[in-house]
Amino acid sequence: MRQKILLVLGILFVLAVVFLQASDIGPALFSKADDSRSWLPLLLIVAALIDSINPCAFSILLLTIAFLFSLGSLRGRILGIGATYIFGLFLVYILIGLGILGAMQVFGIPRIMSKVGAVLLLVFGLISLLGHFFPNFPVKLKIPEKTHQTIGRLMAKASYPTAFSLGLLVGIFEFPCTGGPYLMVLSLLHDQGTYLLGLGYLLLYNLIFVLPLAVILLIASDAGLFEKVQNLKKTKTGQMRLWGGAAMVILALIIFLL
């Protein structure tokens, strides 16, 4: 009951912010705020941190490590295959970002995309919160079930090429499900009209995005710590989704008010 009350309060807060934006009160309160350009680096870092707490990518990495342990693989091989998986995920996210930015430039999309990105981020955040508080909510932010068999076949081969392919596949199918923060950042970059500078920002975003995966790999590749990491992931996944959804909603509202 307490969680449902918090959700209702959150929705009322969103409605209040929308009212402030639509009325003359909002501009009066926030007329001294800096524009989104000055806030861009901070917003990018925050969005990347939110996006990096990604249970789907964590799960695939931990399952791969568990499979390698079952084969008796040494830690060096586990680190190598895990790093290859992370690099594949990193690369496909860079390519997706460059592709979306390039398409926006080519098709001359108006520079109001930061607000559109904020709307998408808000939707992603609310879906995540609804999924947490109401488990039977029909819309889920997760990798489609039909891809699990393909992921399983790649994982079973336990080689460097398949680990790279696995990273690519997870990135491609994960982006439509959990890419709200990334879309918001891409929208901000488009509004600034800085395609070349955007490449540097994309590299920074994605380095932050994969950083928790690298940390988990370093820890979980130690056989003595692997079970503890798995148990932590099982017990904290719900909280990660809750706080991730709440953070997306808050970040979207900040974009609206800038």
Q: DSSP class of residue 65?
A: H
Tokens standing for residue 186:
């891409």
The residue among 246 and 113 whose pLDDT is bigger is: 246
- How far CA 205 is from CA of 24, 94, 194, 200, 239, in Å, comes to 35, 9, 15, 9, 23
Rounded CA-CA distance 214/65 in Å is 13
**Structure-block tokens of residue 131:** 């999924």
pLDDT band of residue 123 (cuts 50, 70, 90) is confident
Q: Residue 33: its pLDDT value, please? A: 36
What is the predicted pLDDT for the residue at 99? 86
Question: How distant, in Å, are the alpha carbons of 68, 126, 246 from that of 252?
Answer: 40, 11, 10
CB atoms within 10 A of CB 250: 16
- Report the distance separating Cα 32 and Cα 135, nearest Å: 41
Q: Are 247 and 181 in contact (CB under 8 A)?
A: no
CA-wise closest residue to 124 among 192, 63, 50, 19: 50
The answer to whether 240 and 55 are in contact (CB under 8 A) is yes
Tokens linked to 69: 């342990």
* Mean pLDDT of the residues in the chain: 74
The answer, yes or no, to whether residue 87 has pLDDT greater than 90, is yes
Q: pLDDT band at residue 4, thresholds of 50, 70 and 90?
A: very low
For the chain, the structural domain boundaries read: 56-257
Residue 218 φ/ψ, nearest 5 degrees: -60, -40
pTM, to two decimals = 0.72
Q: Do residues 117 and 101 make contact, with C-beta atoms less than 8 angstroms apart?
A: no
Q: What is the DSSP letter of 34?
A: P
